[in-house]
Amino acid sequence: MTSIVEARRESRPLAWVRIVSLVLLLLLGGLGSQGAWSAAWVMLPAAVAASVLLTWRFGPVALVLPVVLGLGAIGLAYAGPHAMPLWKSAWVPLGSAVGAWMGLHEEGGGAPIGRRAWMHVPLLAMAALLPVSPGFEPAMGRFDRMLKVQQEALLKAPETAGWPAAWREELQKKVKSPPAARRRDLMFLMPNALFLWAVLLVAAGRSLAARFSTVLGWPELSRSPLRAWRLPDAALAPLLAGLALVVFADRTWQPVAVVLLVHAGLGYSVQGFAVVESVLRSRGIPPAFVTLSMVFVIAVSLLWALPALAVVGLSDVWLDYRRLEPSRDREA
């Protein structure tokens, strides 16, 4: 049975409470970072929220916000002794562009969740280009030296004396690794971590926009269930580009290929999860049981479950399982 009663919308006081709580969490995240990264914890979600609301309300004319922020980031790159490289300053204008893209699609029910996920592609492109960006590799060298000092201090701290021997041996092995090997590991790790961090902040910005729409008395932002996740066909491009770099490019481009392949694979893994959930629910299995079962299977068998789901999600590009009509006896 489907209810025709609309879900009750949150009150304005509750919206303000959620806004303040989210801002405090973002400020707390910023306190754990340094310099530009600390400011980005607040600036990026704020830019996303403003872009979503302004483009939703005023249309394409509000694209001036990400353009202005982009020009500001370029200006910072040429600010003399206080210059900030683009690979640091571009995250805020790119997040604003993602928010503007989302806002432009809010009319008419909004974009489905899979298409909304694809709107993060500017951030993915930024993360993928980090390993070949000027100044990024030396920055990873400086970060590695700082990290090594912290790891050596951790090994000497009395609090770590009670750690399992395997943990201490692994940490000692990392400390003794050659600097070049440690720096190369960071060249693979940091772009992926920064992309996930940016996606998290975009989600926080969209949540802020949803709360402010309540405060302003605007309609609610669109929502889409996870089982509706389906990436557009264009999402194959990062996957194919990553594979092409693995096959044809030299060693310098390997970190770029890893970023593209990892996140394309994760996107199609989520699509595979959505396909399996939809198929099971169409067979009358309770939603809570389906979700708990899927989470349990992924938790206990992550190494094979995610690739298997990615294969299902990728095949859904051509087969579109959720459009297949079940027969009357509920057998596909």
pLDDT of residue 139 exceeding 80:
yes
CA 115/CA 235 separation, integer angstroms: 9
Question: What pLDDT band is residue 129 in, cutting at 50, 70 and 90?
Answer: very high
214-270 confidence digits (pLDDT tens)? 999 998 998 888 889 999 999 999 999 999 999 999 999 999 999 999 999 999 999
- 111 torsion bin: left (phi>0), alpha (psi -120 to 50), beta (else): beta
CB 189 within 8 A of CB 256: no
- For residue 278, CA distances in Å to 248, 297, 308, 322 come to 38, 16, 16, 7
Q: How many CB atoms lie within 10 A of CB 74?
A: 13
At residue 7, the pLDDT reads: 52
65 contacts 100 by C-beta, under 8 angstroms:
yes
pLDDT band, residue 294 (cuts 50/70/90): confident
Task: Name the one residue in this structure whose structure tokens are 């909004």.
Answer: 110
Cα end-to-end span (Å), the chain? 22
> Helix, strand, coil: what percent of the chain each, to 5?
80, 0, 20
Distance, in Å, from the CA atom of 226 to the CA atom of 273, rounded to the nearest integer, reads: 9
* pTM confidence score: 0.90
**Averaged pLDDT for residues 7-33:** 87
Asked if the model's pLDDT at residue 83 lies above 90, the reply is no
Of 265, 260, 272, 251, the closest CA to residue 195 belongs to 260
pLDDT at 162 over 60: yes
The overall average pLDDT reported for the chain is: 89
Six-digit token string for 98: 């993602």
Q: Report the candidate in 322, 307, 235, 232 with the shortest Cα–Cα distance to residue 276.
A: 322
Confidence at residue 8, expressed as pLDDT on a 0 to 100 scale: 63
Q: What is the per-residue pLDDT for 168?
A: 80
Cα gap 249→261, rounded to integer Å:
14
